[in-house]
Chain A
Amino acid sequence: GAGVSQSPSNKVTEKGKDVELRCDPISGHTALYWYRQSLGQGLEFLIYFQGNSAPDKSGLPSDRFSAERTGGSVSTLTIQRTQQEDSAVYLCASLLAGGPYNEQFFGPGTRLTVL
């Protein structure tokens, strides 16, 4: 596709369940980022991938959160034993490094609601 895509667009789950959120970056983009946007808050960095490696996962809020990337393309963010405070919009962005700007292109996000 032409842009970053994410699925599902909306996810409602019960407290304690596990969820998987998927990100398909722009083809050829080597860097991939996950962010969380809580209501009324700025985007919060979660994890950065370069290829399949995650040099910086310092933003993951707890060990219930994990992410992987395979084939230098698709990434999955997994939240185990979800809590109500995990409710937020999870955004993915990809980047093709080079030039002075290194622009990140964002997907539409997955809105997660934990009941």
Chain B
Amino acid sequence: KNQVEQSPQSLIILEGKNCTLQCNYTVSPFSNLRWYKQDTGRGPVSLTIMTFSENTKSNGRYTATLDADTKQSSLHITASQLSDSASYICVVNLSGGYNKLIFGAGTRLAVHP
């Protein structure tokens, strides 16, 4: 069964600290893996997209890694800011067809001053 599992479910960190969110997937065939940020009451916004041949991708303070062999990805946030408080969703795109996405349940991150 195609599944995307994320951990932790929720996380609280202090402003300025770093954190790492985890994603494991059992999706096949695999096209690419995305990390989205979803603010409360808003739609998801793409942070990074990686194909199976890409091991890492950065977007400012966000760095995503991908290990296609172990089917694991991580999202590292550096020097967190209050505005980083949101849900972070790991999404895997099935290969072929019409770009069907398989979503994780997300990690809810709260950054406290």
Nearest CB in chain A to that of B32: its residue: A101
Interchain CB contact (< 8 A) of B98 among A55, A93, A100: A55
CB contact between A50 and one of B49, B51, B98 (< 8 Å): that residue: B98
Q: Once the chains bind, are A31 and B43 in contact (CB under 8 Å)?
A: no
CA distance A46 to B49 in the complex (A): 23
Q: Name B44's closest neighbour in chain A (CB-CB).
A: A106
Binds A, one of B12-20, B59-67, B72-80, B100-108: B100-108
Quick check: is B1 within 8 A (CB to CB) of the other chain? no
The listed residue (A40, A45, A50, A105) touching B100 by CB distance below 8 A is A45
Q: Is the C-beta of A102 less than 8 angstroms from some C-beta in chain B? A: yes
Q: Which A residues are CB-close (under 8 A) to B4? A: 42
- Interface of A, secondary structure class, is strand
Contact with B along A65-94 (1 / 0, CB 8 A): 000000000000000000000000001010
For the complex, give the distance between the alpha carbons of A104 and B104 in Å.
16
Q: Within 8 Å of chain B (Cβ to Cβ): is A12?
A: no
Contact of A104 among B42, B99, B106 (CB under 8 A): B99
Q: Is A109 among interface residues, defined by CB-CB distance under 8 A?
A: yes
How far apart sit A100 and B32, CA to CA, in the bound complex (Å)?
8
The SS class assigned to the B binding surface is: strand
Q: Does B41 make an interface contact (CB < 8 A)?
A: yes
Residues of the B chain whose Cβ atoms lie less than 8 Å from the Cβ of A19: none
Complex-state Cα separation, A14 to B15, whole angstroms: 42
A-B contacts, 29 listed (Cβ < 8 Å): A33-B101, A35-B103, A40-B105, A41-B105, A42-B4, A42-B106, A43-B89, A43-B103, A45-B100, A48-B98, A48-B100, A50-B98, A55-B98, A56-B98, A91-B43, A95-B99, A97-B99, A100-B32, A100-B51, A101-B49, A101-B51, A102-B93, A102-B99, A103-B49, A105-B46, A106-B43, A107-B43, A108-B41, A109-B43
B interface residues with partner A (beta carbon < 8 Å): 4, 31-32, 34, 41-46, 49, 51, 89, 93, 98-101, 103-106
Chain A residues engaging chain B, CB cutoff 8 angstroms:
4, 31, 33, 35, 40-45, 48, 50, 55-56, 91, 93, 95, 97, 100-109, 111
